[in-house]
Amino acid sequence: MAASGGVSSSVPRVLTLWCPEWPAYVVPPVQEPLIVLDQHRVIAACPRARHAGVRTGDRRRTALRACPNATVVPRDYSAEVQAFERVVSAVAEIIPLVELLEPGSLCLDMRGPTRYFGGERFVVDHVRSVVENQLGAEVPIGIGIADGRAASAIAARRSGAVHRPVIVEPGRTAAAFTTMSLRWLHAIGEMSIELVELLDRLGIRAVGDLAALNERDVLTRFGLPGVRAYRVATGADEQPLSSVAPSQLPERERRFEEPVLSVTPVVFSARELAAELVQELAMEGLVCTRITVAAETEHSERTERHWYRSEGFTAAAMIDRVRWQLDAWINESSAVSAGVIVLRISVTAVRPDDGVQQGFWGGASEADGRAARAVARLVTLCGPEGVRVPMPIGGRLPEDRYGWVSTTVVDTDHHVEALAPWPGSVVRPAPVIVPTDEIMVEVLNDRGESVGVSGRGEMTSDPVCVVIGGQSCRVVAWAGPWPLIERWWDDRRRRRLARLQVVLEDGSAHLLAVERQRWHLMGTHS
């Protein structure tokens, strides 16, 4: 396992197919340039938007600045999986064992297909021909072959950039990717952006720079996430083969007394099966990385798909795959003529659970588990769209930082941090109480006159007293003002305000804002 040389022949050869702008291609045609967002970040765009300067990872504001006339739509996982199903089915007809990574991406173990078709080049030609017959030649695709899943994923993305298949010779993975940026490892899900930025600050910017380090030093400084990235950089198998025999891996099956004609009840049953699988593996110190989801109707119609997730499946992630697969199967024309009678989820690959480093104040607690179970019970009563939970979505103002989203799109097993940074937002800690209705306040100086903020962003006089709800209290400390101009390009939604933090004599702390010469309460810290 040298940085500059070959790797063990035990590393499997893998083909990865990747559709670069898949979330954009499943959106109904529009006249204007198209941008697809996920969690307020650009994940896909049409060629016109790309030509205008829109880049993956841009925030909405940055993307619209580059392409003001673009149509912006949120990501639709169900539509992506449904549209990609015909590609998966077509590839599975010539190569049965297909692993789905995400909508628009799949991978194949090359051992069998290489022998059957007579070489890797012939496999690539067959796969490309099948995909182009389904999608058309105008939809760009990337096909890469290399040692291991991670290396083949990088090769597929390079293929999408150079518009031709990329085949990395066996044992040459490390040498082929030496000069590439470490951000490629983040793009394929093998490294967090935080770790990429940390390595960049330390002067480790290329894959070869990381591969040149000593593995023990990487483990000491960056822990197990760093070691996984190091193994990818050196061309080694990023996930060692499991020592657990396939026959020993768990599976769960649910047989319905009456055929089920709707996806929703089947997904509800999948929740229990997924929770049991994850708990059983956790007792053994294992994490599932590959599952097989199968469903069968009373007319013997059947769907079976293999799903892979490098970071491991949580119960919520398993449920998502079940929903996507069933939606695509049922919506396929003439695919299903009866109700579902059997649902089966099988664990087909595992890895040791590396654990999670908790924060200084601890991590998930028993209360978090009880809350998740309570939400699951409510969903069974009210339906997936009837239960909403708060989720960090990012924003400069306290009322913008969280939003209510359907529990079906939230992984309750993992806390999601708010998107950062948001230039212009007030530094932490954020207010713990944010009023839902506007509460007007008065900010007065020592002469009892109203305090304002000038056009230069300066206080007209020092605040001495604040009146909230008719109660007056003296100011013992204050900070600010912090002017803010939002959406200056939008006549209807633009805002101009200034914020002020105050600590009052009664020990309370508040975030105030003045807008159109009127003060109001934005939040209370304590």
Q: What residues contact 358, with CB distance under 8 A and at least 6 apart?
A: none
Q: How far is CA 445 from CA 242, 255, 461, 463, 478, in A?
A: 70, 73, 6, 5, 13
The pLDDT of residue 373? 65
Q: Is the pTM of this model over 0.75?
A: no
What's the pLDDT at 9? 47
Q: Given this model, what pLDDT does residue 2 score?
A: 36
**138-163: pLDDT as tens digits:** 788 889 898 878 888 888 888 887 88
Q: How many CB atoms lie within 10 A of CB 61?
A: 11
Cite the DSSP H helix spans in 383-440.
none
Both tokens assigned to 508 = 């309370």
HSE-CB of 21 using CA atoms within 13 angstroms: 20
Task: Please report which confidence band the pLDDT of residue 398 belongs to, taking 50, 70 and 90 as the band edges.
Answer: confident
Q: Do residues 350 and 357 lie in contact, with contact meaning Cβ atoms separated by under 8 Å?
A: no
Model confidence at 424: pLDDT above 80: no
Q: Can you tell me the mean pLDDT for 370-382?
A: 68
For residues 512 and 434, the answer to whether their CB atoms sit within 8 Å is no
Q: What is the pLDDT of residue 411?
A: 55
What is the reported pLDDT for 350? 83
**CA 125, CA 134: separation in Å to the nearest integer?**
14
Residue 392: predicted pLDDT? 72
Of 74 and 421, the structure prediction assigns the larger pLDDT to 74
What DSSP designation does 431 have?
A: P
Whole-angstrom distance, CA of residue 54 vs CA of residue 52: 6
* Residue found under tokens 């903020």: 453
3-state secondary structure 32-99: CCEEEEECCEEEEECHHHHHHCCCCCCEHHHHHHHCCCCEEEECCHHHHHHHHHHHHHHHHHHCCCEE
Average pLDDT of the chain, as a whole number: 79
With 60 as the cut, is the pLDDT of residue 360 above it?
no
Per-residue model confidence (pLDDT) at position 343: 92
| CB neighbour burial string for 358-386, b if at least 16 within 10 angstroms, e if fewer | eeeeeeeeeeeeeebeeebeebeeeebee
- Tell me the C-alpha distance between 390 and 400, whole Å: 12
Greater confidence (460 vs 336) lies with 460
pLDDT confidence tier of residue 359, bands split at 50, 70 and 90: very low
Residue with tokens 């380090």: 213
CA 467 to chain CA centroid, Å, is: 44
**62-66, 97-101, 422-426, 465-469 — which is least confidently predicted?**
422-426
Q: What is the pLDDT of residues 219-271, one digit of tens each?
A: 888 887 788 788 878 876 545 434 444 557 888 999 988 888 888 888 888 88
pLDDT at 179: 82
**Does residue 204 contact residue 214 with C-beta atoms inside 8 Å?**
no
Domains of the chain by start residue, with CATH = 13-23+78-233 (3.30.70.270), 27-75 (3.40.1170.60), 246-352 (3.30.1490.100), 366-409 (no CATH), 440-524 (no CATH)
Q: For residues 455-460, give the mean pLDDT.
A: 83
In the prediction, which pLDDT does 4 show?
36
Residue 344: predicted pLDDT: 92
